Structure 1
Amino acid sequence: MSDRLICAGRIVIVTGAGRGIGRAHALAFAAAGARVVVNDVGTALDGAPTSETPAQQVVDEIVAAGGEAVANYDDVADWNGARTLIRQAVDTFGGLDVLVNNAGFVRDRMLVNLGEDEWDAVVRVHLKGHFATMRHAAEYWRGESKAGRAVDARVINTSSGAGLQGSVGQGNYGAAKAGIAGLTLTASAEFARYGITVNAIAPAARTRMTETVFAATMVAPDSGFDAMDPANISPLVVWLGSAESAGVTGAMFEVEGGKIALAQGWRHGLPVDRGARWDAAELGPVVKELLDNATPPEPIYGA
């Protein structure tokens, strides 16, 4: 257990918490004093069903360390499943303070080869899975606020560099993660009146989805620090879930190893204003001027 329990008494849901980054989040929240609902349906990397129960294994780890946790196996992208997940936290622990949306899987393929089912499956679990859980959690928190009870709630969403900068071979995943970034901004504005902050992270770590990219050998030889360890991501998420983060909302943090950065999204550029409708034939030099004066874009992953 941590010697500084910054989430003592807080009730936390972590989705996709059976493995990888989600598992690290669940363990870190428990170590910081939180009671945790560990959600994971136990699917394979591509979302196919399996007989595995990693959520219970994480719960067992938390309980063995002296913490409190329960397992949940609901599909977060199923409307009723998301509702049941939120109700389990309330019914088991008496409330809900933090929702960490982390669940997801990949079906990578170049766009020209991507099937409709592969598009739908990835967008469903990532984007709808974030919306459905947020929707039901926010409904609970709104009810608490309207009843006059103080709400100090947090939502931490999981985007990706693939959503912020694009990624070759991940059109479905990147589009879903970009959608999560936009959803985070909208939710942060809409939920503020109820005492809810909404932020997102774009993590880089070694998980089942990235193990072929981030090899286990990426360890600093002088310190033994494994920059791709999923546990590196969790301290920021735990802080964002704590009472200390009350003034932070609508932010996107990039996290990798020991590095944390605030990602800056789309911003209005300086316009060239003709004061009237443009003629298409005139726009070549105008567009060139805009591009020449703009900050160069971040490179697309894999390009």
Structure 2
Amino acid sequence: MTGRMRTTLLLAPAGTWFLVMLLLPLTVVLIFSFGERAPAGGVVPAFTFEQYANLPARWTAFKNTLTLAPVGTLASLLIAYPLAYFLAVKASPKWKTILLVLVIVPFWTSILIRSYAWIFLLGGRGIPALLEWVGIEGVRLINTPFAVLVGIIYGYLPLMVFPIYVSLDRLDKRLLEASSDLGATRWNTFRQITLPLSIPGIATGCMLVFILLMGEFLIPALLGGGKVFFVGNALVDLFLQSRNWAYGSAVAVTLVIVMLITVTVYMRLINRLGATREDVSIM
């Protein structure tokens, strides 16, 4: 058996899974997007661009998604990085394990239950009532973009923390000691060594959070109260309620294209930053 044949056989299961579970469903959705809505719902085979011409009708959903998904990703990064840095570099082995468990604990509960908890906290009997008690009246948090952003950060923060933590935990501490011995300040050490070497963790965490947020629908539905609509909510409405599969497929295809463009640009940026990381490693 030749090496090429052996490689083909080893890759065949994964390739088959990729074809059946990813490419075929996307192909079906792409075909549906050129169809028309059947009178009783579903799709009628056709070849028309009418569904794509109607995409501006869902502009609000795309605007909310393309605004809150990047903002939520960036906010999660700004919160997760100091926490991951403390866990990997500063925390003692005993406390490191305890704190890592505390980061995981929210995942032991359904996102639905956690979102309902935030509905209470951000609702009239929660934080607004506390603010009113101290003299700050008229604050409305629930059913706002802020509420959705809070739910996003809370729900996806662990997915940002762990990749960054792994990247920082593997950091050679001798590099930090050498930088200190050579007279570099803590800020310069962080900027020139720690941050460049943690770029792979940052890239992985941002990718995980951003891709999942682009398809999110539960958090906007619960904390947004139907006033903060994501593309995921639009797809649920189009496929399950109005049963306009053709239009829903066009929206889904457009979302996939937007994600592919965004991820491609993002990966090119990360590759450029990776050159800096390699220079640091060589030094």
- TM normalised by structure 2 equals 0.25
Structure of greater Rg = 2
Bigger relative contact order, structure 1 or 2 (CA pairs below 8 A, ≥6 apart): 2
* Higher share of residues assigned helix: 2
- TM normalised by structure 1 equals 0.24
* Higher share of residues assigned strand: 1
